[in-house]
Structure 1
Amino acid sequence: MSDTLLKPHPLDEATYLRSLGPGRLAGRTSAAYWNMAGPFGGTTAAILLRAVMEHPDRRGRPVAQTVNFCAAVAEGEFEVLVRLVRDGRSTQHWLVELVQGDVVAATASTVTGPSRETWSHRPGAPPPMPPSQALAPLPTEGRNAWLGRYEFRFERGEPIPGRASAEAPAPALSRAWVRDAPPRPLDYVALAALADTFVVKILQVRGDIPPVATVSMTTYFLADEAEMARQGEDYLLCTADARAFKHGFNDQTAELWSAGGELLAVSNQVVWFKG
């Protein structure tokens, strides 16, 4: 077997955690997922979820995760503290912290629970999209490193600096086929990161990037293990929109659909911006 086949995927390297004892783990930031002034927020969410997924007391699959980005994550080592705060019959509730020195850089509230066969109803439907191969990939050379860790094929809402302006803002809706680069079989850790792959909406709407940062992001995981396995390494159909930019904050909503039309996850976040 070649070294290439043996080498871990960049996402697995970026989210690797080693045990320091019960409820304590250690990791290190990855240059492969670097953003403007720190790690791509999706990898922070993925790290916090991995801490729960690898806990020996975890039952079931992720149902919901809320990540609060409290401070900039600095390059280098960090610790993750994970604690089960409520072990109910149907759900478990976890608290997770990412800490550097005496600074809590991010926290997460995570809910896990077993998948059950119940009544189901699916009124939502994915938007019409051309096949992924009919759309050109977004050029990522020379941009923040994390963008090169994904393949984007936009149908609309491609983030291009200078295309819009504050005086003539563009629509906030975006639709794209997205997958890990290199391709990677989908799991919940990857899905937590993919839920944050929508480039900050102010660039799309206003055409520039002021100082900006996601403050809080909640992801609801709707897919079970079988749906994740069916998705494999294929593209996800990702849509995102924003409804208001005001008082230095904007909202952002997103849907992540499988190639087969299953709604895998939805997310909501609030973003701070300056100016």
Structure 2
Amino acid sequence: MSAHPFDTAIALEPQGEGAWQGHTSPAYANMIGPFGGITAAQALNAVLQHPRRLGEPVAYTANFCAPVADGPFLALARPARTNRSTQHWIAELRQGDQTVLTATAVTAVRRETWGATEVPMPRVPGPQDLPPPMRRGRVEWINRYDMRFVEGGYPAAWDGSHAEDSRTQLWMRDEPPRPLDFASLAALSDVFFPRIWRRRATPTPIGTVSMTVYFHAGAAQLRRAGSGHLLGQAHAHGFRDGYFDQTAQLWNEPGELLATTHQVVYYKE
């Protein structure tokens, strides 16, 4: 059986202590360079593969410093500090002598405690009640995901019309289906199309500057999610002076909150 496209894309070859060789994947190509979610997942995988890692990811931030060129890259990861149950990481992707991504991560040994969720999953139709995605020859990476929009889908026409808000709700999973893990959850956190496109239906050039994912689930809970759909909900708070933000939540089908994510995105008039 051939490897899943996602596993091929994030595969890393050891190059010595804290260093791995990777390669961009045409299966996750975007308009310019690769899909940002796959690049973030590649850097996170360097932390996940590190033999000194303690625990599981709790927080992860990726900063996109420059466009990633098609071709090889070097992934670097090192623990900056290790405490009794937490560990703080610094990671980087380099191409030639240039840094194209910097990242930080916090991993931790999780323990059972009292818990509650203050953001319940919205009441929406299930993924089986919504049409599968239409393949329209857009950028290649969207073909790697099954995205079924509840509301706030891609603009039907680039006519400059304004929506009242930037909210999008959709069911999503890898295509073909793949068991969920931390790397794929990080990538799924970036599948939402730019909020500014939702607000004004104008093909505005954009670029993610920084993306943070908070993992509210441990590895066992992700394994229970299997290859099922996740419900994602995203909205922006403000658009101003060439930047806007995005906040999103991702739940599994039973309604458990798995991750929340935040971004700041550059846009050009």
Normalised TM-score (structure 1) = 0.95
Out of 234, 251, 262, the position equivalent to 2:256 is 262
User: Which structure 2 residues correspond to residues 50-199 of structure 1 after superposition, within 5 A?
Assistant: 50-160=45-155, 162=157, 165=160, 168-199=162-193
RMSD of aligned C-alpha atoms? 1.2
- Distance in 1, matches of 2:202 and 2:101, equals 26
- Distance in 2, matches of 1:16 and 1:87, equals 26
- Distance in 1, matches of 2:7 and 2:135, equals 21
Contact kept, 8 Å, 1:92 with 1:112, in 2: the verdict is: yes
Out of 211, 217, 222, the position equivalent to 2:216 is 222
**Alpha-carbon deviations, 1:149-207, whole Å to 9, x = none?**
001110100012526626x3452000010000000000001001000010111222111
Query: Which runs of 4 or more aligned residues in structure 1 lie more than 6 Å from their structure 2 counterparts after TM superposition?
Result: none
Supply the AA of the counterpart residue of 1:106.
L
Contact kept, 8 Å, 1:164 with 1:170, in 2: the verdict is: no
Normalised TM-score (structure 2) = 0.97
Match for residue 237 of structure 2? 243
Match for residue 27 of structure 2? 32
Structure 1 residue 224: Cα displacement: 1.2
Match for residue 207 of structure 1? 201
Contact kept, 8 Å, 1:178 with 1:236, in 2: the verdict is: yes
For residue 21 of structure 1, give the secondary structure of its aligned residue in structure 2. coil
Structure 1 window deviating more from structure 2 (12-21 vs 133-142): it is: 133-142
Structure 1 window deviating more from structure 2 (264-273 vs 110-119): it is: 110-119
Runs of 5+ consecutive residues of structure 1 not aligned to the other structure:
1-5
Contact kept, 8 Å, 2:158 with 2:203, in 1: the verdict is: no
What fraction of aligned residue pairs are identical, expressed as a percent? 47
- Distance in 2, matches of 1:146 and 1:208, equals 21
Structure 1 residue 137: Cα displacement: 2.2
Runs of 5+ consecutive residues of structure 2 not aligned to the other structure:
none
- Distance in 1, matches of 2:158 and 2:206, equals 19
For residue 134 of structure 2, give the secondary structure of its aligned residue in structure 1. coil
- Distance in 2, matches of 1:164 and 1:259, equals 35
- Distance in 1, matches of 2:159 and 2:111, equals 46
Instruction: State the aligned residue count.
Output: 269
- Distance in 1, matches of 2:128 and 2:166, equals 24
Contact kept, 8 Å, 2:236 with 2:245, in 1: the verdict is: yes
**Alpha-carbon deviations, 1:2-48, whole Å to 9, x = none?**
xxxx1000000000000010011100000000011010000011111
- Distance in 2, matches of 1:164 and 1:63, equals 41
Supply the AA of the counterpart residue of 1:65.
Y
- Distance in 2, matches of 1:40 and 1:137, equals 21
- Distance in 1, matches of 2:83 and 2:207, equals 34
